[in-house]
């Protein structure tokens, strides 16, 4: 079974630009969660989607948005990029968000904003 | 609010030795899961071991075992016979079901030959 696939692996953008990251979950998984990982803040929850609906949202500004498609693939978008948005963005999928459904992570997208 | 604290930012261990990584947490939920994830330099987070709060028996996965102390809200990870491939960041995480998974800040483990 293929794992969680995130594309691209690396991105370099300029302040003010926007970016879209993609995540394909494990086949059969309907829940997709996004996390931002930085050395100072660790892993911070961005949002979670289940069956195309946003179920939870973290404490991030409205510049961060996401969506999920009918095939469970998910995208997240960051508009008006700031230097502080430089981070590793991790996507994780699970069958559901029940407690006995652990997250399976992708390799992440490393975003650098210059 | 749910919190996870890992008080050891960095640790090192000699190959073949045993090391214990600490984690404390706080939650008001009565049932929850606790996890240890490993993130090697390749960046992919890998589930190492999980523990359900209702189960008194400590979970074990090969060389990895946990010491779950529910009353003390402590969940430590023991790695036996450490191998070079165990070098990674280790994250403790709490899942209470209705809220997103909460992670600790991580412990960077280096296994030295």
The answer to whether the CB atoms of A98 and B106 lie below 8 A apart is: no
Residue A114 has what pLDDT? 97
Minimal C-alpha gap between A45 and chain B (Å): 7
Residue A30's CB: how many other CB atoms inside 10 A? 17
Query: How much is the mean pLDDT over chain B?
Result: 94
Tokens of B55: 């189960």
B5: pLDDT strictly greater than 80:
yes
Residue A40 has what pLDDT? 82
Residue A101 has what pLDDT? 81
Distances in Å between the alpha carbon of A89 and those of A48, A58, B29, B89?
13, 14, 29, 16
What does the pLDDT look like over A53-85, one tens digit per residue? 998 899 999 999 999 999 999 999 999 999 999
Which is higher by pLDDT, B26 or A39? B26
Interchain CB contacts (distance < 8 Å): A and B = 52
Residues B93, B103 contacting (CB under 8 angstroms): yes
Confidence of residue B30 (pLDDT cuts 50, 70, 90): confident
Residue A95 has what pLDDT? 87
Residues A48, A97 contacting (CB under 8 angstroms): yes
Tokens of A112: 């650098």
Residues A24, A49 contacting (CB under 8 angstroms): no
Minimal C-alpha gap between A2 and chain B (Å): 14
B100 at A interface, C-beta within 8 A: yes
> Which residues on chain A are in Cβ contact (under 8 Å) with B32?
99
Distance between CA B63 and CA B24 in Å, rounded? Answer: 21
Those residues of chain A that have pLDDT short of 70 are: 1, 97-99
> Which residues on chain B are in Cβ contact (under 8 Å) with A97?
97
Q: What is the DSSP letter of B58?
A: P
What does the pLDDT look like over B41-76, one tens digit per residue? 888 899 999 999 998 899 999 999 999 999 999 999
Residue A98 has what pLDDT? 67
Distances in Å between the alpha carbon of B40 and those of A72, B85, B106?
27, 8, 12
Query: What is the phi-psi region of residue B106: left when phi exceeds 0, alpha when psi lies from -120 to 50, beta otherwise?
Result: left
């Amino acid at each position: 079974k293929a794992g969680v696939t995130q594309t691209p692996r690396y991105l370099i953008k300029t302040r003010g630009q926007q970016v879209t990251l993609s995540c394909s979950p494990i086949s059969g998984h309907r829940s997709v969660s996004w996390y931002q990982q930085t050395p100072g803040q660790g892993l911070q929850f961005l949002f979670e989607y289940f069956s195309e609906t946003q179920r939870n949202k973290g404490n991030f500004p409205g510049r961060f948005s996401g969506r999920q498609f009918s095939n469970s693939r998910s995208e997240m978008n960051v508009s008006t990029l700031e230097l502080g948005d430089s981070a590793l963005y991790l996507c994780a999928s699970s069958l559901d968000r029940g407690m006995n459904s652990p997250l399976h992570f992708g390799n992440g997208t490393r975003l650098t904003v210059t | 609010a749910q919190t996870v604290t890992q008080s050891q930012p960095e640790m090192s261990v000699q190959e073949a030795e045993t090391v214990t990584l600490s984690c404390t947490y706080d939650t008001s939920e009565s049932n929850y899961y606790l996890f240890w994830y490993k993130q090697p330099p390749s960046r992919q987070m890998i589930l190492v071991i999980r523990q359900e709060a209702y189960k008194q028996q400590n979970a074990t996965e090969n060389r990895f075992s946990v010491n779950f102390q529910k009353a003390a809200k402590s969940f430590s990870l023991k790695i036996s016979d450490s191998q070079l491939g165990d070098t990674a960041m280790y994250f403790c995480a709490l899942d209470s079901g209705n809220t997103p998974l909460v992670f600790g800040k991580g412990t960077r483990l280096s296994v030295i030959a």
